[in-house]
Amino acid sequence: MTTGRPQLADWLRWALVAVPMFASMPRADAVSWVLIGLTLALSVPMLWVSGPVPSAVVALAVLVTSGTLWALVSGSWASVAMFSVTFYIVLRQSTVPIVLALAVNVAVVAFWAVRHDAWDGALPTYTVLTMVVLIGVNRRARLARLEQKELALARAQTAAEEHARAAALAERARIARELHDVLAHSLAGLSLNLQGARLMLVRDGASPDAVAQIERAQKLAADGLAEARKAVAALREDAVGVDRAIADLLAAYRLDTGARADLAIGGEPRELAPEVGTTLVRAVQEALANTRKHGAQADVDVTLDYGDGTVRLTVADRQGRRPPAAPAAGYGLRGMSERVALLDGRVESGPGEDGWRVHLTVPA
């Protein structure tokens, strides 16, 4: 079961249950007061409970109490609560809760018709129930289409990014080949020719100034060859920066969970030592794994701050509540602490106001 901060839609759904209960109070007898109290008490968890099974149980319980109240008090506004909860179940729940909700509605309407001898009103009521169900099914299908469209757009964007990245890698490989085959070979040949020219000048007894000029030219050619080789190595290595690696992890998290995952970068980004970059990326990876496990579909905020001589990383998930403190650090957090300790850094991990927070500082 997961809980979160109520949204506007949650408050509206609750109001469609609570307001009819208050409207039914002036005509309530002792039994009706009990049903009103039960319905109001059961409706409160609807604001927070979001797990599939708990939310279905709560909604069905509210449906039973509000429907019974409507059947007992003829003409009460409790039918609004009954039909609104039915709509919510059709919209959000699986097949079994929907079938149970329809069975409860059919039974309640039949009980109402028998109690008040109003079979002529049963057919219009069933018609309203059918309309509520059809509207819920239509809305459910529309939301499913929107989710599929968003998922398709996300996949298309990822594919486009990968295509652009592959094209960039291909172009870098082509430039590296040109540098190696043309510039590097030319500089190597020039260096060999200058070496031969220097030996010939020394053999023929040329002036020291002429020999020095050839040696300087040879050194420039050698330096140029070394720089060309460095450029070729850099182009072919294609090292991924820490911020790009973290952004890729967050993109994968968004695709997996559908939740928000944002990266904020502070300070002046710079190249980090491999061991530092690996530690930061592994920390984000472990934090996201824990969020998937303990705070399903929680939003995540990651902050990477480049300071003077240090890099600070903060990963905070937004579960909408303060999680309980872990009895002991798991293997993932323990391994993260060990990696940070090897770099003489610090790591802090624990519950925050609305989720879990991991903060580490490493020298860089």
Assign 3-class secondary structure to the chain: CCECCCCHHHHHHHHHHHHHHHHHHHHCCHHHHHHHHHHHHHHHHHHCECCHHHHHHHHHHHHHHHHHHHHHCCCCCHHHHHHHHHHHHHHHCCHHHHHHHHHHHHHHHHHHHHHHCCHHHHHHHHHHHHHHHHHHHHHHHHHHHHHHHHHHHHHHHHHHHHHHHHHHHHHHHHHHHHHHHHHHHHHHHHHHHHHHHHHHHHHCCCCHHHHHHHHHHHHHHHHHHHHHHHHHHHHHHCCCCHHHHHHHHHHHHHHHHCCCEEEEEECCCCCCCHHHHHHHHHHHHHHHHHHHHHCCCCEEEEEEEECCCEEEEEEEEECCCCCCCCCCCCHHHHHHHHHHHHCCCEEEEEECCCCEEEEEEEEC
Q: Count Cβ atoms below 10 Å from residue 251 Cβ, excluding itself.
A: 16
CA 285 to each of CA 227, 299, 333: distance values in angstroms, whole numbers, following the listed order: 36, 15, 11
Q: Count Cβ atoms below 10 Å from residue 362 Cβ, excluding itself.
A: 25
pLDDT value, residue 4: 54
Whole-number Å distance between alpha carbons of 218 and 196? 10
For 10, counting Cβ atoms within 10 Å of its Cβ (0-12 exposed, 13-18 middle, 19+ buried), the class is middle
- The four Cα atoms 179, 182, 187, 193 give a dihedral, to 10 degrees, of 170
pLDDT value, residue 1: 43
Whole-number Å distance between alpha carbons of 68 and 104? 10
298, 317 contact by CB (below 8 A): yes
Spatial CB neighbours of 173, under 8 Å, sequence gap ≥ 6: 235, 236
Q: Count Cβ atoms below 10 Å from residue 117 Cβ, excluding itself.
A: 8
C-alpha closest to that of 291 among 327, 254, 328, 263:
254
pLDDT value, residue 236: 59
Helix axes 52-72 and 78-92, enclosed angle (nearest 10) = 160
With vertex at residue 63, the alpha carbon angle to CA 59 and CA 68, rounded to the nearest 5 degrees, is: 155
pLDDT value, residue 142: 92
Whole-number Å distance between alpha carbons of 291 and 257? 10
Condensed to tens digits (0 to 9), the pLDDT of residues 218-239 reads: 778 777 776 776 676 666 554 5
Nearest-Å Rg of the Cα atoms of the chain is 35
The reported pTM is: 0.46
Weakly modelled stretches of the chain, pLDDT under 50 = 1-3, 238, 327-328
pLDDT value, residue 2: 45
